[in-house]
Amino acid sequence: MSGTFLGTPAFPDAAREALEDSQLRRNLAHATGTIRTKRAGVVGEVDEWEQLRLAGEAIKNRVLRHLPDYLEQLERSLTAAGATVHWARDATEANAIVVDIARRHATDEVVKVKSMATQEIELNDALEAAGIHAWETDLAELIVQLGDDLPSHILVPAIHRNRAEIREIFLREMGNAGRAAPDDLTDEPRQLAAAARAHLREKFLRAKVAVSGANFAVAETGTLTVVESEGNGRMCLTLPEVLVSVVGIEKVLPTFQDLDVMLQLLPRSSTGERMNPYTSTWTGVTPGDGPQEVHVVLLDNGRTDVLADPTGRQALRCIRCSACLNVCPVYERTGGHAYGSVYPGPIGAILTPQLRGVGSDPQTDSLPYASSLCGACFEVCPVRIDIPEVLVHLRGEVVEAHQEAARLPSVQDMAMKAASWTLSSAGRTGAAEKAAGLGGKLAAKLGRSAPGGRAVLGALPGPASAWSDSRDIPIPAEESFRSWWKRTDGGRSRTEETAGDRSRTDDTAGDRSRTDDTVGDSSRTDDTSGGRDEA
Amino acid sequence: MPRVGLMVTCLNDALFPDTGKAVVTLLRRLGVDVEFPAAQTCCGQPMVNTGYLADAVPLVRNHLEAFDGCDAIIVPSGSCAGSVRHQHGLVAERSGDPGLVRGVENAPPAYELTEYLVDVLGVTDVGAYFPHRVTYHPTCHSLRMLGVGDRPARLLRAVRGLTLLDLPGAAECCGFGGTFAVKNAETSIAMGNDKAHHVRTTGAEVLVAGDNSCLTHIGGLLSRQRSGVRVMHLAEILASTERVVERRDERSADPISIGSATPQNQEAHR
Ligand code: SF4
């Protein structure tokens, strides 16, 4: 019933397809642009925003430092409040726990609150396999589910769809899943929302079991929190008899007071609102009010591996606000599906490879490279995750994993080695530049001039085509800066001659040889390695 | 007299020597006798950003040796200054060599050119003259990694004859991103085309930035599109004076010397 990310090609290939979809490009540019502007507005009005971010970072760091303690405290608090706590090492264990609870209540359906953790473990598929329908009740998740589609955004999983497409999906699919959409449905947002409301209402009233995630879980009190905009989550959290919440172990917060910081950071970063319309909190079972059987499944699924990496672990601070997606210039153009994971965009590029482990499949290994390292994500992240730093770190892990696995170095390995060797000595660098300058002199004859007179080359075949298909290439300067400096004594020599006249060059530079000698000292090693051929 | 070392960067050294010459001209005009430690090569950023952190170790070592004894390093590139300031520590840390970690910690401070001009020298009017309409792209690493803020704009506004035009979506990445430009070429070009489009809507003759790497990418697109817009490094504009402009007009047919704005050159040509 739902699609799968399995088999998504590596990012550059998946992105290429997405980039050709003009409708997708328009939908994304419009949606991310709107939400970016909203966020900037409401963040700009908080004077102490930077202090809030620092506080959010500090709270989450404290949690990660003492994770086992806070988790045990959470378990004690939850149990005391009448909830049942389950521990799940991975997706299979977590899914089995939820399926088992649903079966014990002899139901063939559950209603779901929007949740990333259950998407991550593919709970809907596990339930379906056990003959249990999982009904998504978040409007955007409903659109994705009815369209047999995949989520492409953390907050707005159907961000890649516009309202005309949504109308079509509702008309075509709603009837198969329950109450059909009215025949005269238009693509007016009001009408679409009304159709979804009527469709979902009968499910809320009928379902015995609800499944949710949680934005936060307070260790001190055993209080779980769900933050949402539509109120459909509130329906799921209050109407059914049984509530199962699947919660990643990093969602724990030490005290109730910490919600103060988090609930200021999250809505402004996420939907660009000062406060979200619905914030539900519940602490175990309240007799006579709401679900009378409450389960909490604490999910690891790779998180302790992430925690073990000192640089990578900051990804566990993530509160899934999706601000990093909305500002990411790569995400804006490729959309979420290209990342091949329920976690797309910048956070997906650092979290997915860590949860899955690098070095095993090319799709996962392509994710840390799916970024220009522009840093816009770090700038907006409410818990200050230095995403570019983790990306670079993970690129290192990918390279290392491949070098360990392969017996022969790759072309890229050799190119990097060669570049490292050349560029670790001024002598070798100068020699390479002279060769390039000579090549440039020849190439200049084939090229043309860019505005300003710079000689450039146009489209080239072979490996250079990745660059030159759409971009002209500047031709290496005939004389490098280094040679110019030496020849003209850093421009001080009054008898500068044309760049081609090399013999006089070195003479005039003679009185500066003192500097060059000291340079010679540091590059004596270079002489022995035979690379120094300057002068 | 403090010793100030120019870190010209490997890209400028081989491809854009005129940018380096412009920095020398500019700093001498402001009374700074900048040195060029000839042992310098490359900061290692290409290796680091591709994931080859171990291969960057010899380059970090070389950088430390080359600039040993300097009191400050000036870099006409936001991303290379960012690499020295933020990535060298990462490389040293991962190398497991405590000596290298210490070396990086005690290395001379690396200033991006505009930081040095505005913060250390305390000037915004550098005495430049450039009678053209320009727009400025604040490259990601200058803007976000270093936080140079409005320093470049202040410097540009003080240039006589220059009209600075607002670039729409200025803070957005141009899509260069080092190896990203070839590893994810299509996405890179999609980003670059949007940037080039914004540049063209300003009506500027010249796109200026503090990083020739980004300018190679955007300029490569602009030139392929036959847009008629040229790209220039900020240093070359700041180095320009009345006399240099005259000279450029005289020599506009010579592609190699374009932008070489050193008064010394000018003297030599008389
Ligand atoms: S990484 Fe930061 S910005 Fe991105 S979703 Fe997580 S909390 Fe939000």
The CATH number of the domain holding residue A149 is 3.40.50.10420
pLDDT attached to residue A495: 52
CB contact under 8 A, B264 and A496: yes
Residue A6 covered by a domain: no
Residue A358's alpha-carbon distances to A305, A337, A366, A397, B193, in angstroms, are 12, 20, 10, 7, 32
Instruction: State ipTM.
Output: 0.89
Residue A328 covered by a domain: no
Considering the domain B3-120 in this protein, what is its CATH number? 3.40.50
CB contact under 8 A, A452 and B175: no
Residue B251's pLDDT band (cuts 50, 70, 90): very low
Cα atoms in the Cβ-side hemisphere of radius 13 Å centred on A514: 2
Q: Which of A250, A261, A321, A377 to mutate to test the pocket of ligand 1 (most atoms within 8 A of CB)?
A: A321
Can you name the residues that pair with A136 across neighbouring β-strands? A112
Given the CA of residue A319, which atom of ligand 1 is nearest to it?
7
Q: Give the strands of the sheet with A293-299, arranged side by side.
A: A84-88, A293-299, A242-248, A209-212, A109-112, A133-136
More confident of the two residues B265 and B15: B15
- And the tokens for A246? 């699947």
Distance, in Å, from the CA atom of B238 to the CA atom of B241, rounded to the nearest integer, reads 8
Q: Does A431 touch chain B (CB under 8 A)?
A: no
- Find out whether the beta carbon of A347 lies less than 6 Å from any atom of ligand 1: yes
Q: Does A496 touch chain B (CB under 8 A)?
A: yes
Whose CA is closest to A314, among A60, A41, A37? Answer: A60
Q: How many CB atoms lie within 10 A of CB A8?
A: 18
The rounded mean pLDDT for chain B is: 90
Closest residue by Cα to atom 4, ligand 1, is A324
Query: Contact at 8 Å (CB) between A124 and A100?
Result: no
Q: Report chain B residues whose CB lies below 8 A from the CB of A416.
A: 47, 50, 52, 55
Q: Report chain B residues whose CB lies below 8 A from the CB of A420.
A: 47, 52, 55-56, 58-59
Helix then strand count (H, E) for chain A reads: 26, 13
Rg (C-alpha) for chain A, rounded Å, is 29
Ramachandran area for residue A60 (φ above 0: left; ψ -120 to 50: alpha; else beta):
alpha
Label the pairing between strands A252-253 and A84-88.
Answer: unpaired
Following CA atoms B68, B70, B72, B74 in sequence, which dihedral angle do they give, to the nearest 10 degrees? -80
Q: Which three-class secondary structure state does DSSP give residue A392?
A: helix
Task: Work out how many CB contacts closer than 8 A connect A with B.
Answer: 258
Residue B261's pLDDT band (cuts 50, 70, 90): very low
Whose CA is closest to B33, among B78, B76, B72, B85? Answer: B72
Q: Which three-class secondary structure state does DSSP give residue A181?
A: coil
Distance, in Å, from the CA atom of A69 to the CA atom of B101, rounded to the nearest integer, reads 34
Whose CA is closest to A227, among A211, A214, A243? Answer: A214
Residue count (chain B): 270
Q: Which of A264, A383, A390 to mutate to test the pocket of ligand 1 (most atoms within 8 A of CB)?
A: A383
Fold equal for B3-120 and B133-268: yes
Beta-strand ranges (E) seen in B76-121 are 110-112
Q: Which three-class secondary structure state does DSSP give residue B257?
A: coil
- Find out whether the beta carbon of A315 lies less than 6 Å from any atom of ligand 1: no
Residue A162 covered by a domain: yes
pLDDT at B245 over 70: no
Query: Contact at 8 Å (CB) between A429 and A422?
Result: yes
Element (H, E) at A73: helix A67-80
Q: Report chain B residues whose CB lies below 8 A from the CB of A368.
A: 51
Residue of B nearest to A380 (CA): B144
pLDDT attached to residue A253: 98
Considering the domain B133-268 in this protein, what is its CATH number? 3.40.50
Given the CA of residue A269, which atom of ligand 1 is nearest to it?
8
What is the pTM assigned to this prediction? Answer: 0.88
**φ, ψ dihedrals at B232, nearest 5°:** -145, 145
Min distance B155 CA to chain A CA atoms (Å)? 22
pLDDT at B263 over 50: no
Q: Separation of A82 CA from ligand 1 center, angstroms?
A: 32
Tell me which residue has tokens 């000062």. Answer: A274
- Find out whether the beta carbon of A388 lies less than 6 Å from any atom of ligand 1: no
Distance, in Å, from the CA atom of A445 to the CA atom of B183, rounded to the nearest integer, reads 29
pLDDT attached to residue A261: 98
Distance, in Å, from the CA atom of B235 to the CA atom of B74, rounded to the nearest integer, reads 12
pLDDT attached to residue B40: 95
Out of A333, A396, A486, closest to residue B191 by CB = A333
Give the number of domains in chain A. Answer: 2
Tens-digit pLDDT profile for residues B41-56: 999 999 999 999 999 9
| Residues in contact with B190: Cβ distance below 8 Å, sequence separation at least 6, in sequence order | A19, A333, B175
Element (H, E) at A323: helix A323-327
pLDDT attached to residue A294: 98
Q: Report chain A residues whose CB lies below 8 A from the CB of B144.
A: 374-376, 378-379
Distance, in Å, from the CA atom of A253 to the CA atom of A77, rounded to the nearest integer, reads 13
Whose CA is closest to A483, among A411, A440, A426? Answer: A426
Q: Separation of A36 CA from ligand 1 center, angstroms?
A: 14
* In chain B, domain spans: 3-120, 133-268
Q: Does A349 touch chain B (CB under 8 A)?
A: no
Residue A363 covered by a domain: no
Label the pairing between strands A216-218 and B110-112.
Answer: unpaired
**Residue ranges making up the domain that contains A447:** 431-502
Distance, in Å, from the CA atom of A187 to the CA atom of A165, rounded to the nearest integer, reads 8
- Using CB atoms within 10 Å of the CB of residue B223, give its burial: 0 to 12 exposed, 13 to 18 middle, 19+ buried: buried
Residue count (chain A): 535
Q: Which of A32, A379, A385 to mutate to test the pocket of ligand 1 (most atoms within 8 A of CB)?
A: A385
Closest residue by Cα to atom 8, ligand 1, is A321
Q: Separation of A156 CA from ligand 1 center, angstroms?
A: 14
Q: Separation of A326 CA from ligand 1 center, angstroms?
A: 10
pLDDT in tens, chain A (535 residues): 446 788 889 999 999 999 999 889 999 999 999 999 999 999 999 999 999 999 999 999 999 999 999 999 999 999 999 999 999 999 999 999 999 999 999 999 999 999 999 999 999 999 999 999 999 999 999 999 999 999 999 998 998 899 999 999 999 999 999 999 999 999 999 999 999 999 999 999 999 999 999 999 999 999 999 999 999 999 999 999 999 999 999 999 999 999 999 999 999 999 999 999 999 999 999 999 999 999 999 999 999 999 999 999 999 999 999 999 999 999 999 999 999 999 999 999 999 999 999 998 999 999 999 999 999 999 999 999 999 999 999 999 999 998 888 877 888 888 888 888 888 888 888 888 887 777 777 676 667 777 777 778 777 767 777 787 788 888 888 899 999 999 999 988 855 444 444 433 333 333 433 333 333 333 333 333 333 333 3
Q: Does A396 touch chain B (CB under 8 A)?
A: yes
| Residues in contact with A514: Cβ distance below 8 Å, sequence separation at least 6, in sequence order | none
pLDDT attached to residue B159: 98
Q: Separation of A266 CA from ligand 1 center, angstroms?
A: 9
Whose CA is closest to B84, among B117, B34, B120, B48? Answer: B48
Q: Separation of A381 CA from ligand 1 center, angstroms?
A: 5
Q: Separation of A225 CA from ligand 1 center, angstroms?
A: 18
Residue of A nearest to B140 (CA): A374
Q: Separation of A48 CA from ligand 1 center, angstroms?
A: 19
Q: Report chain A residues whose CB lies below 8 A from the CB of B66.
A: 426, 522
Whose CA is closest to A204, among A242, A233, A180, A239? Answer: A239
Q: Is the dihedral of CA A11, A13, A15, A17 positive or negative?
A: negative
- And the tokens for B29? 């005009």
Q: Does A478 touch chain B (CB under 8 A)?
A: yes
- Find out whether the beta carbon of A158 lies less than 6 Å from any atom of ligand 1: no
Residue A373 covered by a domain: no
pLDDT attached to residue B244: 55
| Residues in contact with A106: Cβ distance below 8 Å, sequence separation at least 6, in sequence order | none
- Find out whether the beta carbon of A381 lies less than 6 Å from any atom of ligand 1: yes
pLDDT attached to residue B262: 37
Rg (C-alpha) for chain B, rounded Å, is 18
Helix then strand count (H, E) for chain B reads: 16, 7
Residue of B nearest to A428 (CA): B41
Residue A385 covered by a domain: no
pLDDT at B24 over 60: yes
Which of A303, A335, A366 is where one domain is finished?
A303
- And the tokens for A23? 């409708």
Among B67, B91, B187, pick the best mutation site for testing chain A contact (most A Cβ within 10 A). B187
CB contact under 8 A, B264 and A491: yes
Residue A493 covered by a domain: yes
- And the tokens for A189? 């947002």
Residue A487 covered by a domain: yes
Residue of A nearest to B15 (CA): A476
Q: Report chain A residues whose CB lies below 8 A from the CB of B52.
A: 396, 399, 413, 416, 420
Q: Separation of A324 CA from ligand 1 center, angstroms?
A: 5
Distance, in Å, from the CA atom of B66 to the CA atom of B38, rounded to the nearest integer, reads 7
The secondary structure of residue A301, as a DSSP letter, is T
Tell me which residue has tokens 């409450």. Answer: A294
Residue B77's pLDDT band (cuts 50, 70, 90): very high
Which of A303, A328, A348 is where one domain is finished?
A303
- Find out whether the beta carbon of A322 lies less than 6 Å from any atom of ligand 1: yes
Min distance A225 CA to chain B CA atoms (Å)? 34
Among B57, B223, B264, pick the best mutation site for testing chain A contact (most A Cβ within 10 A). B223
Q: Does A437 touch chain B (CB under 8 A)?
A: yes
